[in-house]
Amino acid sequence: MRATTFTNAAVLALASQASAETIKIDVGANGLTFTPDSVTAKVHDILEFHFHPINHSVVMGDFANPCQPAKTGGFFSGFQPVSSGEADQVFQVTVNSTDPIFFYCSQNTFSHCISGMSGVVNANSSQTLDAYQKAAKSEKSASNPQEVFGGRLVTSGSSTTTSAAPAATTSCTVSSKSGGNGYKRSDTCSGAGSVSASIGIVGVFTLGMAILLS
């Protein structure tokens, strides 16, 4: 009898693991949006954020406070600057509840969140993305936590977890007093790759300016 119970439990555990899905969400691939920006997820599913140019982030927020970090729990990917293609790292967040989860990009250059760069997991009739995005327009600026937390930065295209710990190695010394400008913030990232990427972005801008001025 005990053996049967154990077997059933084991099968259930395996079944729930096997059915966990990875949900890919592109960040900034189609302008200032998440694609898709509304998903349905089960407990144990993994949200996997892929970052596109130029410099985006993802932060979990609360429905009631658009463009601001969640008061309890949540996640923050840090800024993931990339000049072309996709950032080296993806950010994985394991879903642990089927309650609505709102998320946004905290890049203030061109006011990403205020412009509607946000998304939702498991929206319901009282907490919709439409309502969140409308309310976001009244915000003055977006903010984000100091450090990467609540998920895993994983090297894209491999299963190597580069930062299993909540506080990631590539976390930037982010503070709202650095002008709310993620482009500048990336200068203070501790990861060597981030620094060179930010130099690359400056290069792209310089080139862009040169073209505009020529």
Mapped onto helix, strand or coil, the DSSP state of residue 183 is helix
Among 50, 52, 56, 185, interactor with Cu ion by CB under 5 A: 56
Candidates 7-15, 52-60, 161-169, 206-214: pick the segment binding Cu ion (CB under 5 A).
52-60
CB of 126 to Cu ion, least distance (A): 27
Q: Which of 83, 25, 79 is nearest to 53 (CA)?
A: 83
Size of site (CB under 5 A) for Cu ion: 5
Neighbours of 199 (CB within 10 A): 14
Q: Which of 115, 100, 107 is nearest to 82 (CA)?
A: 107
Largest CA distance in the chain: 82
CA atoms of 211 and 43, how far apart (whole Å) = 49
CB of 119 to Cu ion, least distance (A): 11
Is 105 a binder of Cu ion (CB under 5 A)?
yes
Is 133 a binder of Cu ion (CB under 5 A)?
no
CB of 82 to Cu ion, least distance (A): 12
Is 77 a binder of Cu ion (CB under 5 A)?
no
Structure token digits, residue 42:
């089960």
Instruction: Give residues in contact with Cu ion (CB under 5 A).
Output: 56, 105, 107, 112, 117
